[in-house]
Each structure stands twice: as structure tokens, then as C-alpha cells.
Amino acid sequence: MTSFAERNGASRRAINAKKRQSRRPSRLGAVAGATPKPDRVKDEEAGFPTLLKRAWERAVEAPDLRTAVTALLTLDGHVPADVQLRALRTADEAALKVLCGISWREEDLAAPVRDTLERPAFLGELGLTSTGRIVIRVPSQGSLADEENLNLVDGVIEVPWSAQDLLDYESEVNRAAARYADQVVDCRQWLAALGTQARDELLETVRESALRTAPFVLHQEGKLYTNFREGNNLIGKTLWAGHPSETFSSLLGVEMERWSDHDAMLVVCLTLLVRSAGAGRIEEANGTQLTLDHLAFMLERTRRNYNAVPGGEPVPAAPTHRVEALNSLAMALRERRVGHVLPNAQLYREIHGALMHKIERLAGPYGEASKRREAELVARLRDRLPLTGATFEELSASLTASPGWLARPHGEFGTGLEALVYETVSGATDVFEADFAMSRGMRSIPELMRALREQSYAEITKWDITDFFCCVVPAPAAKRHYEDSVLQLADNAWAMSSRMQYNSWHFIAGNLPKVPAVVERDHFIPPTIPDVAFYSDQHHHGHVASKVRFSIRSPQAVEVMGQKFNGFMDLRLLRCDGTPFNESDLLAAHRTSGFIASAMSAAAALVAAGEDIEVTAFDSEWHLKSVQAAANAKQPQPVS
């Protein structure tokens, strides 16, 4: 198999020599790995640990319990409170309802009036764990500091309980425990009725879903299920199928009587999540308890969203929270999503980076704010590219009518396709007031077509990240985030570009037939709907290092030889500080990425007709020159 460089005339010796050189823009030509010390040393306190400490400080300073709890639930305003409420253990949930009148359940929203006593009947505690979850010492427990595997951010806040609080709590927690026990029995009976073979097939489905989606963290009372970093017990980047610590593998072929209650609830809930919308739905439970009640809450929220799309047969509410009723609801939601919602409305995900929690939203109309962004960017592209039109739709029509220039040199670029990608990304940086904008794709559509014709799927899985590209254009002013250094700005732009090349590599296998080489190759299910993220600079090491706080991602499919490749490209917008992006930004960005995708599809059609289009720009040297040129262009000229 040849690499992209070899296909473009470089010898293997030259390629290997270049591999031994640093690709960091600030050290181009230097020997890789020869610096006396790292350019950056990871701050172990950066991101999430600092946020937790700040939230805890706000809680300690709060004038009353309800204000303290609100500070912890929102992590000092960084996440919606209901996410953390749905992460509480049964006893903690009951305690907060009694002590503060706070609950995620609609029927529990009336706040009680608490009496202040000089001598409380019980002195409880309030704490925050290193995973960001609130924990409470209730009457049946000892000190939180003595709980095994409970890693507290700091100390505890003492919480006095009145005698009436104790009575109310006992009644509430008994009801909650009975409700949970009933759900466990329901899950066990449903799984047992499937039989061993059907249960194993179900386990394979949820295991594959966990493997092919982004990391997640789920709670079952005090038990943690995760494929994210420390404490892994689910398949993912760390644990492989068959690992002795991997939960799903350990349950295969095992009779139902040997399953724990936690495992039974986990498998049922994950199954229903996947059945409702595929593996991506799992991330919408990130950071919460996974029980039938919580699942019902998520599915009902989804049902209301889907039914808000006019037309079609509305989905009825689940009559109960029993597994069979929720299973029917999940299947009905999937059918309406695919058959009616996706063709007629715009879905997107709202991502809360502090807890990696995702919420599926239904976008509103394409309003004036979105239209203004589009009009400004279209006018800029119309001036710089051989296109006509006042909207992205009209630009795409102009391109389809006369696409030949995409295969010819244009301006400083070897092909019009490269020029179109750059001008669109560069314009997006300015128009959306972003610190960075970027778009990725495949360097050689001809090679992809050849491999598809030959059904060389194993070859495609072996292509390197350098067979993909990502054009990153930072705003010159973004250097303020990196010690006002143009070189550091270029280094960060290239780091982002390299990571996005990996994303293209990571997603492409998810579009190929499931031959053994594809199944064995690490990949995620390609994304299909856009998302807007808040406070992403918490967990992802790259986001922490590059200070990526707010972002928009708009993935698009591209058709190659009649085959649809989901997530073939995307447009990303980043801000390191300031105002978060909103829904109107996302809608305009999604039309922008759709325009780039239409150009890639047009390029694929030209290649099918005999043209040879390859993207050679957007390597590390290009990013250095581009960033330096933009910085110099923005400098005020001296007065003579």
C-alpha cells in the first residue's frame, strides 16, 4: 500500500527522512523529539479539578443550604442543574427533596418550609465527589469521609436535620427504595424471558455500541460504569472485549441468577437507549443514574420534541415505566426520528463539557441572526470564488452548474477545491467571530474511488492520518491566548489540524462494510447531526491544552461513487473565551458546512468523470506560513 506522499512522487527515503523531523510549525526541519524539555507540561489541576474546587468554594460561602446545593448542582453555573439531580443516589435524592424541596421529578417540585432548630435531631453532611456528583450523609450513614471509594473534593458542609425532616425522609426514602426494587425485578424478569441466546445477542449489541461511541460515565446507585480513563469497567479505549474487568463480556453466557441488580438495570437501560436512536443516545445519559425512571424521563423529553415536528403520526406517551412500555416507546421514537423528524426538522446536540453530557434539541426556525451570518459569508465567497448567488443554496447550484474550476489551480492553491475550503473556513473565522475555524476531509478522492471499486476495504483501514487533511484558520487576535506568540498560535492550529486528521481517519471505517479488517479497526460511528458545546476545556486533554471553551461542530455526509459517507467532513468553530455560540450560530454554521460538502461531492463527480483532484495544501508548513501571513497583514503599517 502506498502513502499519499508516495502517490505524489516522494521517495520512501525522503518520506522516512521527513518523518524524523518535527512537524510542529515552530520547529520545522528540526529533529523530532530532540527538545531538552517539553514545550508544555500538563497541569494536573487544569480543567475539571479547578472547576470542582471553585464550585465547592461557592457552596461553602453560600448563605443557606439551598444556595449551596444549587452551586454544586450547576458546578458554579457550568451545567444544567437537572443533570446533577439525575446523578443522585436514591438516598441522596430523597434527602434533597426533604431538606431543600429540590427534585428532577415534576411531581416533587413544591419546596417545603423548614424549621430552624438550635439543637438539630441529626447533623448530616453535604459533599462533592471528584466526578462532580453531590453526596449527602443521611441518618443511616456514617461520615462521608469514611465511605470507601468516595473521593471528596474537599471537606464537607454540615447540614442540620429537624425531627420532621427525619420523619419525612424515612417516608420518602422507603417509597424510593420500593420503586427501585420494583424496577430491578421488572428488568430481571424481562431479561430472563429472553433466554440465554437472545440475552447474549443483546449484550453484543450494547457492547458494540459502547465501543463505537465517545466515552461515557453512568451511575447505578453508588456503582460507577464507565469506559472513560480511570476505573474502566466497560469496553472502550482501555478495556477490550474479553478483558476480565469488562462488564458485558463477563455476562455473556451467564445465567440470569448470577447477574447483579446493577448489571441487569444497566443492560436493559442501555438497550432501550440504543433502540431509541442508536449508540449516540448513550451519551445523553452521561453523568446520571441509569434507572427506568431516569430512562423514562429522557424518552418522554424526546417524545415531546419529536411530536413538535408537524405532520406524521405522533408518538403516544408510555402508559407506565415498565420495561415493555418503555421498549415500545423507544422503538416508536426511532421510527418517527428516521421517517419524519430527520427529513423535516433540524436536530442537534447540546454538549455540557464539564460532565460530557449531551442533550438532543429540536432547532427552531432559521431566523434573522442566522440569515445575517450567511449573507455576510456568501458575499465574501462570491467576491473571491467564481460563483454567483445570495445564499449557500444558490452558491451550490452555481457550483453544480459549472464545477470544472474545482480541478484547476485557483489563486495560491493547486486546485479550486482547496481554495474553496480555505476561503470558506477563513470567512467563517471572521463572520462567526471565532478564535479558530476548520474543516477536514480526504486528500485523495481518486484513491478512495479506486479502493472502493476494488473493494479493498482492508487497505482503506490502513491509510494513515496524513491521507486526510484539515484546514485550520485562526483569527490573528487569538494569539492573545498563547502568550501573544504567532508561533504558539501556529503550533496550536497545527495541533488542531492533526487531531482533526485523526478524526477523519477514525470515522471513515464506520462507513465501510463490516468485513473483519473494518470490525477490528478502531473507529467510532460517524456523526450525522451538529452540536454546540459549552465549557469543553474540562476533560479533553487537547481542549484543555488549546483552551477550547466553546465550539460548534457541523458534520456532513459526502457521496462517493453512489455511496454515502457520513461524517466525511465537518466545519468546526471554536472560541477560547467570551460569549458561547448559540442555536442561530449553529444553524448558519450547518449551512456553511453543507456548502463545503456540496463542493466535495461535486469534486467526487468530477473525479468519476476522469479528473484528478488531490488536496496537497494544509500541512504543517502551510499552517505556519498562513498564520504568519495573516498576523503580518493585520499589523498596522508604519507611517513614512
> What backbone phi and psi angles, to 5 degrees, belong to 551?
-155, 160
Confidence band, pLDDT 50/70/90 cuts, at residue 43: low
Res 546: pLDDT: 84
Structure confidence at residue 637 as a pLDDT band (50, 70, 90): very low
* Averaged pLDDT of the chain: 91
Give the model confidence (pLDDT) of 483-517 as tens digits.
Answer: 999 999 999 999 999 999 999 999 999 999 999 99
Least confidently predicted of 79-88, 144-153, 379-388, 621-630: 144-153
Q: Is 98's pLDDT higher than 90?
A: yes
Q: With bands split at pLDDT 50, 70 and 90, how would you rate the model's confidence at 219?
A: very high
> What is the arithmetic mean of pLDDT over 612-637?
88
DSSP assignment of 303-321: HHHHHTSSSS-PPPPPSSS
pLDDT in tens, 230-268: 679 999 888 888 888 899 999 999 999 999 999 999 999
Q: How much of the chain, in percent, has pLDDT values that exceed 70?
A: 91
Whole-number pLDDT of residue 638: 45
Q: How confident is the model at residue 9 (pLDDT cuts 50, 70, 90)?
A: low
Cell numbers for 384: 473571491
Q: C-alpha cell of 293? A: 425512571
d(CA 455, CA 452): 5
**Interval 287-302: pLDDT, tens:** 999 999 999 999 999 9
Cell numbers for 90, please give them: 436514591
539 is written with which cell numbers? Answer: 476533560
Q: Which residues contact 111 (CB under 8 A, 6 or more apart)?
A: 100, 101, 102
pLDDT at 633: 86
Q: What is the pLDDT of residue 30?
A: 72
**Per-residue pLDDT band at 27 (split at 50, 70, 90):** confident
Instruction: Choose among 421, 482, 433: nearest CA to 580.
Output: 433
Q: pLDDT value at position 241?
A: 85
**What pLDDT was estimated at residue 110?**
55
Q: In the predicted model, is pLDDT for residue 308 greater than 60? A: yes
For the segment 14-28, the average pLDDT, to the nearest whole number, is 66
Rounded to whole angstroms, how far apart are CA atoms 48 and 288? 17
At 35 the pLDDT is 61
Does the structure show a pLDDT above 60 at 148?
yes
Residue 117 has pLDDT above 60, yes or no: no
Asked if pLDDT for residue 73 goes beyond 90, the answer is yes
Q: Is the pLDDT of residue 451 over 70?
A: yes
Give this prediction's pTM.
0.92
Q: Is 32 helix (H, G, I), strand (E, B) or coil?
A: coil
Please give the distance of CA 211 from its chain centroid, rounded to a whole number. Answer: 15
Buried b (16+ CB within 10 A) or exposed e, 585-621: bbbbbbbbbbbbbbbbbbbbbbbeeebebbbbbbbbe
Q: What is the pLDDT of residues 551-608, one digit of tens each?
A: 999 999 999 999 999 999 999 999 999 999 999 999 999 999 999 999 999 999 999 9
Average pLDDT over residues 216-230: 88
Query: What are 321-373's pLDDT values in tens digits?
Result: 999 999 999 999 999 999 999 999 999 999 999 999 999 999 999 999 999 99
24 falls in which pLDDT band (50, 70, 90)? confident
Q: For residue 386, which of 605, 616, 602, 613 has the smallest C-alpha distance? A: 602
Check residues 264 and 221 and name the one with the higher pLDDT: 264
Average pLDDT score over residue span 460-464? 96
Cell of 523: 473507529
Statement: residue 1 has pLDDT above 50: no
Cell of 525: 460511528
Q: What is the reported pLDDT for 38?
A: 59
Min mean pLDDT across 64-73, 173-182, 226-235, 412-421 is at 226-235
Alpha carbon 569 to its chain centroid, in Å, reads 16
Residue 130 pLDDT more than 70?
yes
- β 122-128/436-442 pair status: unpaired
What stretch of H or E contains 477?
none
